[in-house]
Amino acid sequence: MKLPYAEPYKIKMVEAIKRATKEQRLQWIKDANYNLFNLTSDKVFIDLLTDSGTGAMSDAQWAEMMIGDESYAGSSSFLKLKSTVQRITGFKYFLPTHQGRAAENVLFSALVKAGDVVPGNSHFDTTKGHIEFRQAKAIDCTIDEAFDTSNLHPFKGNVDLNKLETVFKTHPKENIPFCIVTITCNSSGGQPVSIENIKAVSALCKRYDITLIFDSARFAENAYFIKKREVGFQDKTIKEIAKEFFSYGDGMTMSSKKDGLVNMGGFIALNDEETYKKATTFNIMFEGFITYGGMNGRDMGALAVGLDEATEFDYLESRVEQVAYLGQKLVDFDVPVQQPFGGHAIFLDANKFVPTIPREEYRAQALAIELYIVGGIRGVEIGTILADRDPVTRENRYPDLELVRLAIPRRVYSYNHMDYIAVALKNIFDTRNEAKHGYNIVEEAPIMRHFTVKLEKI
Ligand SMILES: *Cc1c(COP(=O)(O)O)cnc(C)c1O
């Protein structure tokens, strides 16, 4: 008999999570105005709100915390992190920041000006925010296949080269500070970008003399997908693959809260000395001196170890395949989910799951609330509430997709938790036709309403 899969780690410390009754949760979610962001964590059994900063550190990372060097300048923890980043990414220059958006703030302060355009593949919210804040524009050049939840394309994060070249042709070079490729592409569902595509984007950027930057929050998961799916990479290590794709670019921003396997942190890595020098000034202004940039010495040490652990095959297999295990269970139960499964999350397709709830009544939010009530599981709506209102007409903007994201924290939950989530969803799916009504908005903020919106049940 073939031996079944088992995780390549054992547990040294546990954190209790509280179970509650359905009646208690009905009351709690009502008290929270049907906004899952308003729930305190003790009222959640399995928290799938995000995989950002929610992972479990290893014993080796905790050990590194104890020998953190808190010197203001030139600490040994900084030097450890710097040499790890250089070894794994191949980039020459390195600046620590307190998280990913801080890396964007620093780098974009050096590179982006009003009137610029920044093409890329489905820019992440904070990336887009930092571009638009500077009166520049983010142009989405993702392949069309990315927007069909049942299309099985293996690299749905890929950049459409024709769309990208059109941007290069229709804007003066001075107005394109860089092209940004997000690996894996968070906003299109944690979907990877192939090396073939990265190489082609790099060649196109070189032809038009445009800088290529990677938004690298989940670069290790991207490398894992390349190893599993792209011809010619089966025998390469994750570290070899990552080094290869980084070699096609000029720099990167990183949210270490994802594939850095730490709870807080970020960085910038670059090849160009001029850009590094410019970014250094902003780093000192916004983040801190260049040898800590908003991070504790101990946290830089833990990040150095985390980057090495996150780029090992065994860890990545346990991580990505656990997400896929949940996805496959749901598919077996006929629950509609985005496919192929993303690296960090499973996305429920609410348009197919609860078509009986009118879109004006926020069907994806209704599904996320039901999952909380039935199982104490907290996911997040990626649908009409998140899409906000049109700034001019103040009408709701209805996106093509109404999704509920179930983001899986790294090394935190077991296969039993995955089974529990799948059955909770199956039970909701079996009674889906009884769901006729959703929610009304009672109160909302003018922008970013999803964090504070108050709802009432219809
Ligand atoms: C999380 C994330 C960011 C922002 O990082 P923070 O650490 O949350 O500030 C940027 N880009 C991508 C793709 C991300 O997933």
Question: Strand 345-349 to strand 403-407: parallel, antiparallel, or no bridges (unpaired)?
Answer: antiparallel
Q: Which residue's alpha carbon is nearest to atom 8 within ligand 1?
A: 100
Q: Which of 22, 59, 63, 125 is catalytic?
A: 125
Tokens 């209805």 belong to residue: 398
Determine the pLDDT at residue 326: 98
CA of 52 from ligand 1 middle (Å) equals: 8
Does the annotation mark 72 as catalytic? yes
The residues lining ligand 1, judged by C-beta closer than 6 Å to any ligand atom, are 52, 99-101, 124, 126-127, 182, 186, 215, 217, 255, 257-258, 266
Atom of ligand 1 at shortest range from CA of 103: 9
Per-residue pLDDT of the chain (458 residues), as tens digits, is: 999 999 999 999 999 999 999 999 999 999 999 999 999 999 999 999 999 999 999 999 999 999 999 999 999 999 999 999 999 999 999 999 999 999 999 999 999 999 999 999 999 989 999 999 999 999 999 999 988 888 999 999 999 999 999 999 999 999 999 999 999 998 778 999 999 999 999 999 999 999 999 999 999 999 999 999 999 999 999 999 999 999 999 999 999 999 999 999 999 999 999 999 999 999 999 999 999 999 999 999 999 999 999 999 999 999 999 999 999 999 999 999 999 999 999 999 999 999 999 999 999 999 999 999 999 999 999 999 998 888 788 899 898 889 999 999 999 999 999 999 999 999 999 999 888 899 999 999 987 899 999 999 99
Helices (H), 138-262: 161-170, 195-207, 219-229, 238-247
Residues sharing a CB contact under 8 Å with residue 387, sequence separation 6 or more, in sequence order: 396, 397, 398, 399
Residues making up the chain, counted from first to last: 458
* DSSP letter, residue 408: P
Residue nearest to atom 4 of ligand 1 (CA): 100
Task: Report the CATH number of the 59-310 domain.
Answer: 3.40.640.10
Residue 150's pLDDT is 83
Q: What is the Å distance from ligand 1's center to 107 Cα?
A: 14
Quote the ligand 1 centre to 372 CA distance (angstroms). Answer: 25
pLDDT at residue 310, as a whole number? 98
Q: Which amino acid is at 28?
A: W
pLDDT at 87: 98
Nearest-10 crossing angle of helices 363-375, 22-31: 140
28 Cα to the center of ligand 1, angstroms: 30
Residue from 222, 252, 256, 257 whose mutation best tests the ligand 1 pocket (most atoms within 8 A of CB): 257
Mutate to test the pocket of ligand 1, among 255, 382, 408 (most ligand atoms within 8 A of CB): 255
CA dist., res. 25 & res. 43, Å (int) = 8
Q: Whose CA is nearest to atom 14 of ligand 1?
A: 217
Q: Best substitution site from 51, 98, 105, 124 to test ligand 1's pocket, by max atoms within 8 Å of Cβ?
A: 124
* 390 is annotated as an active-site residue: no
Q: Ligand 1 atom 11: the closest Cα is on which residue?
A: 124
Residue 216 has a pLDDT of: 98
pLDDT at 435: 86
Q: H or E segment at 298?
A: helix 297-310
Identify whether 124 is a catalytic site residue: yes
Distance between CA atoms of 355 and 372, rounded to whole angstroms? 19
Ligand 1 midpoint to CA 326 (Å): 24
Which one is catalytic: 34, 94, 108, 124? 124
Q: According to the model, what pLDDT value does residue 220 have?
A: 98
Residue tagged active-site, from 5, 72, 133, 398: 72
384, 398 in Cβ contact below 8 A? yes
Query: Where are the chain's structural domains?
Result: 22-51+313-457, 59-310
Q: Specify the ligand 1 atom closest to the Cα of 102.
A: 9
> Cα separations (Å) of 230 from 74, 147, 154, 245, 413?
41, 21, 9, 13, 29
Residue at token pair 């229709």: 170
Measured at the CA of 269, the angle between CA 267 and CA 273, to 5 degrees, comes to 130
Active-site residue (options: 80, 258, 344, 417): 258
Q: Are 438 and 357 in contact (CB under 8 A)?
A: yes
* 279 CA to centre of ligand 1 in angstroms: 19
pLDDT at 399: 87
Atom of ligand 1 nearest to the CA of 264: 7
**Residue from 98, 215, 252 whose mutation best tests the ligand 1 pocket (most atoms within 8 A of CB):** 215
Decide if domain 22-51+313-457 falls under CATH 3.90.1150.10: yes
- 232 C-alpha to ligand 1 centroid (Å): 30
Do 282 and 111 form a contact (C-beta atoms < 8 A)? no
